[in-house]
Each structure stands twice: as structure tokens, then as C-alpha cells.
Amino acid sequence: MYPTPGAFTEMAGRFLDPALAFALGWNYWFLWISNLSNEYNGLSIVLGLWTDKVPSYGWILLSWGFFQCTALLPVTAYGEMEFWFASWKVLCVFGGFLVAILINTGAIGGDYIGFRYWADPGPFVNGISGFAQTLVLAAVYYCGTEMVAVTAGESKSPKRDLPAAIKQSFTRIFVVFIGLLFFASLIVPSDSPSFLTATPNPASRPGRSRSSPAAGAPPATSSTSSS
């Protein structure tokens, strides 16, 4: 029967070799462990922009504890939380689009930017090496789109639900991922010091008079994309 609850790991063992299914299963587990660690780190960077009284590992431990508590909830409660968190993220994404437009046009900050950063310093500052490094990170951020296939076995009507879900995935990827990158490229230069370190810069914390309105955009964009 297709689809199966085991998704691609079960199919690999059924049609190719059990060893391949074993390797895929552990590789997928490692992928999600790494992805969760990346999200915890991104959250600590964003929250670190607001206060330096809590160390990075403190935010990471709090995030990990919250995640473990939610995982123990009943499926209905967990699904309800996921719905509201996802709704909040969508609002934040479109709010970020609006703020980026206001910064770019000078409504915030008083300086019209336009497409200035596309010319100076421009893209591909580090050439093919920089492109290759960011390509690996960008590929990791697409982790999760395969959930459409992984959860297909739990759908009441896969023939109806899967095509609709796959079509929506392309739209969401274009709006969220490409949209965030487009607006970030308008207000943050590709050689911004914020891209060079994972340690929050005290001068770029929100509320500081000397900080740029777009100072928190790099870590915020990274965190939102990875979630």
C-alpha cells in the first residue's frame, strides 16, 4: 500500500536494500538534530540583540526545555500550538516585509536606499567560494519540505491532499525564503559586519541611538528562514 508511514526510508529498504534504509534513517535523524541546534542558536542570536544579561547557552537551554515540554503534550494540543506559532511567524514575515520597505524608502532612518547595495558592494563579494559556502547553508534551510511525503501515510485522502500540499510548498518557499532574501538584500549590504560573527554586536542592539534600523536583519532573517 502506498503511501507508507515509513516514507522514503521504508521504500529504500523495500526496493533497494535494508542497509540503505538504515543509513537514510540515521542520516535523517542527524539532519533534524542539526537543524534544531541551528534554530536554537539562531534564537539565541536574535534574543541576544535585546539583552546581554543572559548568555547564549542560557537561551539555548531555555529553548531546548520548552521544546521538550511541548513534545510531551497530546497531539491535539501540540497541533494547536503549531498552528498559532506558524500564524505568528507568517505575521512576522509580512511585518518584516513592511519594515524593510519603510527602511528602504527612508520612512525609517531617513535615508533612501533603493537598490544601492546591489551595486555597491554588490553580490558575490567572496566569489565562487562564498557562493558555495552559502549554497550549503541555503540547502539546509529547505529542510522540512519533505514532510509532505513523510506524513503522506497519515493522510485520509493522499490522492487529494498531496498534490495540493506540494503546490502550496512552492508558493510558500517563494514568498518566505525568496521574499526574505530579497528584502534583506535591499536594506543590508553583503559586506555587513553582522554577517561575519555569530556574537551579537552591542552597538547593534535595538534601542541604541547609534544603531542602524537594519542592524538586526541578518540574524533575524536567518532565524526566520530556518524555522
Per-residue pLDDT tens for 71-95?
Answer: 888 878 888 888 888 888 888 888 9
Torsion of CA 76, 78, 80, 85, to 10 degrees: -170
pTM comes to 0.66
Query: Angle 133-135-136 (CA atoms, 0-180°, nearest 5)?
Result: 70
Other C-beta atoms within 10 Å of 39: how many? 17
Place of cell 527602511: 103
Per-residue pLDDT tens for 193-205?
Answer: 766 554 445 444 5
> What does the pLDDT read at residue 123?
73
